[in-house]
Amino acid sequence: MSRRVNYQIWRVDAFEWLSSRRSRSVHAVVTDPPYGIVEYSPEQLQKRRSGNGGIWRLPQRYDGASRNPMPRFTVLRPKDHAGIRDFHGRLAPLLHKVLVPGGHAILASQNLLSHLVIPAFSESGFEMRGQIVRVVRTLRGGDRPKGAHKEYSGVSVSPRSCWEPWLIFRKPCEGRVRDNLERWRTGGLRRPSTDRPFEDLIHASPPRGEEREIASHPSLKPQALMRQIVWAALPLGKGVVLDPFMGAGSTIAAAEHLNVRSIGLEMDEEFFRLAKKAIPRLAKIVTDGSN
């Protein structure tokens, strides 16, 4: 007999869904928001899909190596930064509303933009509980000045990125952590084992091979990473995990693999169709070092 599916996915606008969701009905949020905002606008997504420039860095081949398009955050303008602040300023209060006391919101971020996200969550009543450092050799950045490679061969415009921050926020507990755990089953982070705490340093390479073939999404996160984060987000292994920006369904697949309930939201029709097919297959992938 096959195991019952534990997830629900909806093709909806996340802000509309969150606005109508009842308060204190979600135990954790694990998501990778469109933190540049601009790159996931319909116009820029269409340019990426057609291979016709835009904010997505093209071509996909460089020095004989094939590369996935990546958004160029360094080209964002002041008004784009203001849009990012406004986006998270709208998002944070809605997440605060739907989370139970002690519930964590764990968000993927970006080194150049995380300073725009943190104030929005702090001002909405969340406690900053640290960051997860995902060590990943993306080989992005570290380039010489454009049009002056030879003249300034000893100069890089920016450091080569070797890590990705995941921001950890917590809705304040009601009383002590032990009281909150008893009433709401939240307030802490689940340990990988009784003799080892959850750590804020995770080595996780980009998804490749079978995983990439299953879900070709520009921001696909590897199951080896997502299963560790989803596992930690529910301290007693009980409750509902929400991903309001589901993409290809990495968070939902990780929750399904761990046999916990989850809800995924995605507005883009193509990504939603991709997630619908990919989640059951991603959930079955065997990874090294994951739960």
pLDDT digits (tens, 9 = 90+) for 41-70: 566 556 555 565 554 454 444 434 444 555
* pLDDT for residue 231 is more than 60: yes
pLDDT at 61: 43
Least confident of 100-114, 133-147, 227-241: 133-147
Q: With a cut of 60, say whether residue 239 has pLDDT above it.
A: yes
- Is 253 in a helix, a strand, or coil? helix
DSSP H or E run through 82? helix 78-98
Query: Superfamily assignment of 7-36+76-283 in CATH?
Result: Vaccinia Virus protein VP39 (3.40.50.150)
The kind and range of the H/E element at 1 are none
67-110 per-position pLDDT tens digit:
455 555 455 788 888 988 999 999 999 999 999 999 999 999 98
Torsion sign over Cα 131, 17, 21, 119: positive
Inform me whether the pLDDT recorded for 3 exceeds 70.
no
Structural domain boundaries in the chain: 7-36+76-283
What is the rounded average pLDDT for all residues in the chain? 88
Has residue 229 got a pLDDT over 70?
Answer: yes
For residue 160, what is the enclosing H or E element? Answer: none
The pLDDT assigned to 244 comes to: 98
pLDDT at 163 > cutoff 90: yes
State the pLDDT at residue 137.
Answer: 77
Mapped onto helix, strand or coil, the DSSP state of residue 180 is: helix
pLDDT on residue 62: 40
Confidence check: pLDDT of 289 > 90: no
What is the percentage of the chain residues whose pLDDT exceeds 70?
A: 83
User: Cα separation of 27 and 242, whole Å?
Assistant: 8
pTM: 0.87
pLDDT number for residue 277: 97
Specify whether the CB–CB gap between 67 and 61 falls below 8 A: yes
Cα separation, 273 vs 82, in Å, equals 31
Q: Which tens digits make up the pLDDT trace of 250-281?
A: 999 999 999 999 999 999 999 999 999 999 99
